[in-house]
Amino acid sequence: MIYVGGLVILLTIFAIVKKVEVRLVLFLAGIVMALLSGDIRAGIDAFTGAMTGSLVPIIATVMGFAYVLKLTKCDQHLVHLVTKPLTKARAILIPGTVIITMLINTALTSAAGVGAAVGSILIPVLMAAGVKPAVAGAAVLAGTFGSAMNPGHTHIVDVTRIANEAGYDVVPMDMVATIMPGVIISTLIGAASLTALAYLLKENKGYVSEEEVVERSDDAPFKVNILKALVPIVPLLILVIDSNFNLFWEYVANAEGVDVWTNIPITVPQVMLLGTALATLVSMTNPQEIAKSFFSGMGSAYAEIIGIIIAASVFTAGMAAIGITGALVDVMQNSDGVAGIASVIGPFLLAILAGSGDAATLAFNDAITPYAASFGMTIPQLGTTASLAGALGRTMSPVAGVAIVCASIAKVNPMELAKRNAPGMILAAIVAIIMVGM
């Protein structure tokens, strides 16, 4: 049965690469494997269990807040605030664009949304400065995995859930602390690689657009509202401050040897609701419109993100029922270093082919990450490594939604962006393998 299950998985990967609806593919594959194992209830129970899982309110409220930011244009004010100084420093335009995009993506979690928001500003600026369109588009694309440091990000929430189910006592900010070094190092590698490649190919200057990029006389300059620009990052700041406060208070309690009251951690949904309230007050937007956007965002989260998680849960349950999960765990237990390498290579390659790291990463984490201790690793370490690898693969995929957005703004083929980001993302993946093995 394991070989039959392996064939089902290969067909699943093939279907995803061919752009068949991911949720349908994962769901059917999981149900088929569960049916073949004689335990169809395993797939159905996984489906119903994931529908109301602990990560649902987190992801839903994050997306609701994102929709409110778009309605109130707070996201645009943040983008303009951060990118304006960069346009005055031509020498660091390329690496600066990568880093700025990563930082903005940390607060605004949609890769495609950030690609459009930042790209519409900086890609024309880079091109006007003489940078070739493909490099300009690739610079924005290369920074679109900063969302991995957002405590409400899908994979951060998922790894937190897996860890707590295994007996850990962690919150999303703990996962952020684990993945942060990898994200920062990967960003620097991507920025340095793209900059070096641009200089080597002489694509960093000399480009002259057929249509000059000039500001139209009837367009008034964008005036940044500082309060609106700060709204997207307030929830993140609160979570960071609260997390560090808890760590400090726990340190004091341990040092003094006394039972000191500890602060109850602030949750992601709480700060997303607070951020929504702030956006409403700062923008003076009709609360009715705010409510419509917030709940539309929640609905979108369920359909687009949580739906994939549900389907991936069914797929994982099918793998376990038919015996593939156990076989993989046995192989990894008997092969030093295989788990760390697999956590990078698997999600990385499938993300390149499919244009999304979500399906591969969620399936890997649900199936393998709970057994991290068997490989001499922690769940946060293994789970976040897989998440980062999926993001790196998506960042050099020509079929990723954000790649298509950036390429459209730059008016080039998405493959041109992928080719320029590939060296940096591959090198970052290799570094990730080394880091996870340390």
Q: Kindly report, residue by residue over 339-389, the tens digit of the pLDDT.
A: 678 878 888 887 887 677 777 788 788 888 898 888 888 999 999 999 999
Q: Is the pLDDT of residue 193 over 90?
A: yes
User: Where do runs of H (alpha helix) occur along 129-264?
Assistant: 133-141, 154-165, 172-200, 226-230, 234-256
Distances (CA, A) of 104 to 83, 188, 263: 10, 15, 29
The pLDDT of 313-337, averaged and rounded, is 75
pLDDT value, residue 191:
95
Which sequence spans correspond to the domains of the chain?
A: 2-436
Confidence band of 140 (pLDDT split at 50, 70, 90) = very high
| Per-residue pLDDT at 260 exceeds 70 | no
**Banded model confidence at residue 392, pLDDT cuts 50, 70, 90:** very high
Average pLDDT of the residues in 98-120: 83
pLDDT band of residue 309 (cuts 50, 70, 90) is confident
Q: What is the pTM of this model?
A: 0.73
97, 143 in Cβ contact below 8 A? yes
Give the whole-angstrom CA distance, residue 279 versus residue 160.
Answer: 28
Give every CB contact of residue 315 below 8 A, 6+ residues apart in sequence: 12, 26, 27, 29, 30, 33, 363
Residues 186-210, mean pLDDT to the nearest whole number? 88
Taking residues 70-85, report their average pLDDT.
83
CB–CB of 148/387 below 8 Å? yes
Cβ neighbours, 10 Å, residue 265: 15
In the chain, the percentage of residues whose pLDDT exceeds 70 is 87
pLDDT band at 214 (very low <50, low <70, confident <90, very high): very low
Task: Quote the CA–CA distance of 171 and 78 in Å, as a whole number.
Answer: 27
Confidence class for position 325, pLDDT limits 50, 70, 90:
confident
The answer to whether the beta carbons of residues 317 and 45 sit under 8 Å apart is yes
How far is residue 104's CA from residue 102's CA, in Å, rounded to a whole number?
A: 6
Q: What is the pLDDT of residues 34-51, one digit of tens each?
A: 999 888 888 888 888 888
Instruction: Tell me the average pLDDT across 190-194.
Output: 96
Backbone φ and ψ of 357, nearest 5° = -90, -5
- Of 5-19, 248-262, 370-384, the one with minimum mean pLDDT is 248-262
pLDDT for residue 212 is more than 60: no
Mean pLDDT of 82-95: 77
Could you tell me where the beta strands, DSSP code E, fall in 143-216? Answer: none
- Residue type (1 letter), 105: N
**Please, which pLDDT band fits residue 292 given cuts at 50, 70 and 90?**
very high
